[in-house]
Amino acid sequence: MDFSTETMTILRRGGDPWPKTAPTGADAACVQARSPTRWARNSPSIARNARIAQDQAEYQSRFDKLTDGHTTLLEEYHRLLDQISDLDNRQAAYCHYQEELDKLDIDHIEFTPYLWHTLVDHAEISVESTITFTFRDGRSQAITLKN
């Protein structure tokens, strides 16, 4: 493996093999090979695995625990993204509803199924001949039926 002149100079002087402009490619591999302790200090788990004989059962247990934790966090992350997306969609629908409601001319409204579903959340009919309409914006209107 050939070293560049710059890498060899850094290593001979005992300088920092990770200067502000770190070597790349083969030079980086050479620096890592020549100064494993400094490289290992920057990566403690690599140092531990490279220098200390590991109990494979303990290592596997630790790995499984980390993998399970990562999976749990990833699921929670996706669940939160779904909630955020749902809230964004609801907010967009509400803004659209408010804009369309502002455009309505109350004096010239014609009944359409679309208008019904856009405005009314639900209607309740009581035994006293009263229908209470609850609109999507939370307001209610009670109408008494004539006999």
Compute φ and ψ for 140, nearest 5 degrees: -125, 150
User: Are 41 and 6 in the same domain?
Assistant: yes
Question: In this structure, are residues 38 and 46 in contact, taking their beta carbons and an 8 Å threshold?
Answer: no
- Residue 38, H or E segment: helix 36-42
Structural domains in the chain (count): 3
Q: Which domain holds residue 66?
A: 56-103
Compute φ and ψ for 4, nearest 5 degrees: -75, 160
What's the rounded Cα separation, in Å, for the pair 88 and 78? 15
User: Are 38 and 10 in the same domain?
Assistant: yes
What's the rounded Cα separation, in Å, for the pair 10 and 19? 9
Q: Is residue 144 pLDDT above 70, yes or no?
A: yes
User: Are 23 and 48 in the same domain?
Assistant: yes
User: Are 47 and 18 in the same domain?
Assistant: yes
Output the CA–CA distances (angstroms, integers) from residue 80 to 12, 34, 77, 83, 91, in the order listed: 52, 45, 5, 5, 16
User: Are 90 and 134 in the same domain?
Assistant: no
Q: Is residue 15 pLDDT above 80, yes or no?
A: no
User: Are 47 and 1 in the same domain?
Assistant: yes
User: Are 88 and 119 in the same domain?
Assistant: no
% of residues, the chain, pLDDT over 90: 31
User: Are 38 and 24 in the same domain?
Assistant: yes
User: Are 13 and 46 in the same domain?
Assistant: yes
More confident residue, 43 or 113: 113
pLDDT digits (tens, 9 = 90+) for 42-100: 566 666 667 777 788 888 898 899 999 999 999 999 999 999 999 999 999 888 888 88
State the pLDDT at residue 42. Answer: 57
